[in-house]
Amino acid sequence: QVQLVEFGGGLVQAGGSLRMSCSASGVTFTWYTMGWFRQAPGKEREFVAAINRNSGNTYYADSVKGRFTISRDNIKSTIYLEMNDLKHEDTGAYYCAAKLAATVKWDYWGQGTQVTVSS
């Protein structure tokens, strides 16, 4: 059974930093592009960042470029999201997701972890 479990959300002041991780099990981790999404209250889920199978390529939403960094450890089947200079608008539930590299649809999702940035 596939499981994606996020860790590391919390409450942080604006301008602060937070590091989250997502551990995967039940999948051949190196087959999957991994990503982070977020959903603010009353808004649709939006893409935050993604990283391909061998960490050769990373992708970011314009709103987080230069502040967030996605990385992965294929030995540990884990991805990370380093978030710096956090803003109030970064508040939301953050979800880890996985998809096979050749597909558009994200196949698996974590349960989400809350990030709250106080202004």
Q: Alpha carbon 29 to chain centroid distance?
A: 15
Widest distance between CA atoms in the chain: 40
The answer to whether residue 49 scores a pLDDT higher than 90 is yes
pLDDT for residue 56: 81
**How sure is the predictor about 96, in pLDDT bands with cuts at 50, 70 and 90?**
very high
pLDDT for residue 44: 97
Neighbour tally for 95: CB within 10 Å = 21
Helix (H) or strand (E) holding 100: strand 92-100
The answer to whether residue 30 scores a pLDDT higher than 90 is yes
The answer to whether residue 19 scores a pLDDT higher than 90 is yes
- Name the residue with tokens 């992708």: 59
Return the C-alpha torsion angle 52, 105, 91, 29, nearest 10: -40
The answer to whether residue 119 scores a pLDDT higher than 90 is no
List phi, psi (to 5°) of 29: -55, -40
Tens digits of residue pLDDT in 107-116: 999 999 999 9
